Amino acid sequence: MKLNRLFMLAAFLPAIHSSVLLPSGFSQDDTDKDRRMRWFRDAKFGLFIHWGVYAIPAGEWKGKIYPGASEWIMYRAEIPTKDYSPLARQFNPVSFDADSWVRLAKEAGMKYVVITSKHHDGFAMYHSRASKYNIVDATPFKRDPMKELAEACKKYGLKFCFYYSQTQDWYEPNGVGNYWEFDGESPKNFQEYFDEKVKPQVREILTNYGPIGLIWFDTPRNMTAAQSKELADLVHQLQPDCLVDGRIGNEMGDYKTKGDNRLPSGATEMDWETPATMNTSWGFKKSDENWKSTKQLIRALVEVASKGGNYLLNVGPTAEATIPMPSTERLKQVGEWLRIHGESIYGTRMSPWTIPPEWGMITTKPGRVYLHVFDWPKSGKLELHGLRSRVARATLLGTRTAVRFRQEHHEALGLALVSIDVPPTPPDTNVSVISLELEGTPDVSNRIQQGQSGTITLFGIVADLHKSPGSRIRKDDTGIREWVGKDDWLSWEFAAAKPGKFKVSLGTYEVSTGSGRTRKNIYEAGHQFALSLGGQELRCAVDSSQRRVEKPSPYFTDFVNEVGEVTIPAPGVYSLQLKPENLVSTQGIGCVLRWIRLQPVK
Ligand code: FHN
């Protein structure tokens, strides 16, 4: 079979340059926003704390263990307020030690702490004057732990921040969510609850605890644009430098908040944060032993930083105010890694390469790129594609030893290659880091290249989208969504230096839709595509019965369909097209594509 080689001369290839500069079009407002955002952009790593009276049942009610997160027990077990609220009378964490919690966050290398001032159960974990249903007035404990935490954060130099659930409040008839006791899911008078509880409480937490780094609203649900704006204005009026997270709703936040435990496929945008669990629940849950390893957590932190975000990692203390031992151990180990490698995380910006290399992740600072190697090459050589800047020095970050490297340019393929000689074993068992000192700012080509192993991965987020009029197909930060229209198609252009025969697979995933009781994960399959590469055409199916599962991260599952083989006969630049022949969509989800992979057949 003969392939069409599209171009052979680099001089004619359009190369996409990226840089790590802040968004263009600076205005006075941008400058002020940059000033307010600076600590957040540099911090990269924060501690999330879900602590409330739900730590007493800890996932169990009347002998039954409820699925999901423990802070949702009131909802899941449909507990009436008259039975749930007495939990407050048992809440007496006399050994609570704010200093030790914040010291732990500091030791973990975290730069800010976000704690639940009021979660969906409506119980305020601080001394509220707006509602007696709070830790000082309703528990035997009678202390305000938030005052103590604010002090401890000040002592250790961490930003103190609050979580506040602004719509869901299962204690209040006018709050959202308590369908089992009050009239259905829609509250009778949300505005009244908003005026009489939310605004006064937000005012309290922003007035009585010193400077607050950010306020973390959650589940915006029915918030109107006017309500989101009013709340954001209130925050900024009380504390102009306090940041507002993305879940205030209606795009009124200072930054974007990703879905829980969600990581984008590539470096997509500035200023975002992902909240993440170490096990499954956010609040303390006795039965939840699903702990991620320290290595997984370090890698997730690196991945988030390399894609331009912040990693807000959660702990769920017990009702006695103990942070579970598996969390403490992991946090200390992450801190040990950061003590050696922190320079490659703090103050860095997203990788100038949109798509990470197949061996790991990249972060950058002016004049530097940091190569975070997850899969250490057995060959003793690490290949970095696309860097056109001259490298002055390459160093292993841990030992500070210099390593040899070579830079090559293959004009015909538009390839810039740095080959680095690395020791046979990785210097760090979690993630080893190589620092490249550059002459000038990184000049990078984002042309899709074959990886070091010969694999070519075509991510949905960098596909060229050929959209028919009125179609719903779109890209989000993980891939292609809502592909239901048979006239929509995708294409990618890539360079291949190592020709041969390749096994082709498609990676798809499920998406969650709805909210509250209607929330569910949906996966639609049975789609058929025609994949063409040069003169070759492959009929391929995304089919549930044929698929296997891959776990690209502790948080995600990709469904993989092997669809056949193609040949790349010679080095060159090629175009691959994917056109639907039949798309199945009974629930409006259609095909959700993360990637197409071409793996060399040995
Ligand atoms: O429903 C909450 C959940 O309990 C937890 O607080 C998380 C943290 O991001 N936010 C909501 C679900 O997204």
Q: Tokens 């390593």, residue?
A: 403
Q: DSSP labels for 112-137?
A: EEEEEEE-TT--BSS--SS-S-BHHH
DSSP summary character for residue 83:
H
Residue 27: CB atoms within 10 A of its CB come to: 8
Answer for the pair 104, 115: CB distance below 8 angstroms, yes or no: no
For 489-546, the pLDDT digits (tens) are 999 999 999 999 999 999 999 988 887 778 888 999 999 999 999 899 999 999 888 7
- Residues composing the chain: 602
- What is the mean pLDDT of the segment spanning 233-253? 98
- What is the mean pLDDT of the segment spanning 374-392? 96
Share of the chain above pLDDT 90, in %: 86
- What is the mean pLDDT of the segment spanning 216-228? 97
Alpha-carbon gap, residue 478 to 259, rounded angstroms: 11
For 115-138, the pLDDT digits (tens) are 999 999 999 999 999 999 999 999
pTM over 0.95: no
Q: Point out the ligand 1 atom lying closest to the alpha carbon of residue 163.
A: 6
Identify the structural domains of the chain with CATH numbers, from first to last.
3-16+354-438 (2.60.40.1180), 35-344 (3.20.20.80), 456-600 (2.60.120.260)
Q: Among 126, 122, 130, which Cα is nearest to 75's?
A: 122
Q: Where are the beta strands (DSSP E) in 247-286?
A: 256-257, 272-276
Calculate how far, in angstroms, residue 23's C-alpha sits from the geometric centre of ligand 1.
Answer: 30
pLDDT of residue 546: 79
Calculate how far, in angstroms, residue 571's C-alpha sits from the geometric centre of ligand 1.
Answer: 49
Confidence tier at 186 by pLDDT (50, 70, 90) = low
- Whole-Å CA distances, 209 to 51, 160, 244, 495: 18, 9, 17, 56
Confidence tier at 22 by pLDDT (50, 70, 90) = very low
Alpha-carbon gap, residue 243 to 228, rounded angstroms: 14
Alpha-carbon gap, residue 342 to 48, rounded angstroms: 20
Q: Among 442, 451, 385, 446, which Cα is nearest to 418's?
A: 385
Q: Is 303 in the pocket of ligand 1 (CB under 6 A)?
A: no
Answer for the pair 40, 310: CB distance below 8 angstroms, yes or no: yes
Calculate how far, in angstroms, residue 488's C-alpha sits from the geometric centre of ligand 1.
Answer: 35
For 283-321, the pLDDT digits (tens) are 999 999 999 999 999 999 999 999 999 999 999 999 999
Which amino acid residue places its CA nearest to atom 3 of ligand 1? Answer: 282
Residue 251: CB atoms within 10 A of its CB come to: 9
pLDDT of residue 517: 77
Helix or strand run (H / E) with residue 237:
helix 225-238
Residue 262: CB atoms within 10 A of its CB come to: 18
Query: What is the residue type of 151?
Result: E
Residue 152's Cβ-count burial label (10 Å; 0-12, 13-18, 19+) is buried
Q: Is 216 in the pocket of ligand 1 (CB under 6 A)?
A: no
Q: Is 218 in the pocket of ligand 1 (CB under 6 A)?
A: yes
Alpha-carbon gap, residue 450 to 352, rounded angstroms: 18
Residue 155: CB atoms within 10 A of its CB come to: 13
pLDDT of residue 168: 97
Alpha-carbon gap, residue 516 to 75, rounded angstroms: 10
Task: Name 481's bridge partners.
Answer: 474
- What is the mean pLDDT of the segment spanning 421-435? 97
pLDDT of residue 392: 97
For the ranges 55-69, 106-120, 169-183, the lowest mean pLDDT is seen at: 169-183
The tokens for 571 are 């080095």
Which amino acid residue places its CA nearest to atom 13 of ligand 1? Answer: 260
DSSP summary character for residue 581:
E
Instruction: Out of 121, 164, 260, give the residue to mutate to test ligand 1, the one with the largest number of ligand atoms within 8 Å of its CB.
Output: 260
Alpha-carbon gap, residue 285 to 280, rounded angstroms: 9
For 402-415, the pLDDT digits (tens) are 999 999 988 777 78
DSSP summary character for residue 555:
T
Share of the chain above pLDDT 70, in %: 95
Alpha-carbon gap, residue 72 to 90, rounded angstroms: 19
Which amino acid residue places its CA nearest to atom 5 of ligand 1? Answer: 282
For 449-475, the pLDDT digits (tens) are 999 999 999 999 999 999 999 999 999
Q: Is 312 in the pocket of ligand 1 (CB under 6 A)?
A: no
pLDDT of residue 184: 63
Calculate how far, in angstroms, residue 428's C-alpha sits from the geometric centre of ligand 1.
Answer: 34
Cα dihedral sign, 583-586-590-591: negative
- What is the mean pLDDT of the segment spanning 570-586? 95
pLDDT of residue 24: 33
For 67-114, the pLDDT digits (tens) are 999 999 999 999 999 999 999 999 999 999 999 999 999 999 999 999
Q: 575-601 b/e with 16+ CB inside 10 Å = b? A: bbbbbbeebbeeeebbbbbbbbbbbbe
Instruction: Out of 167, 215, 219, 272, give the residue to mutate to test ligand 1, the one with the largest number of ligand atoms within 8 Å of its CB.
Output: 219
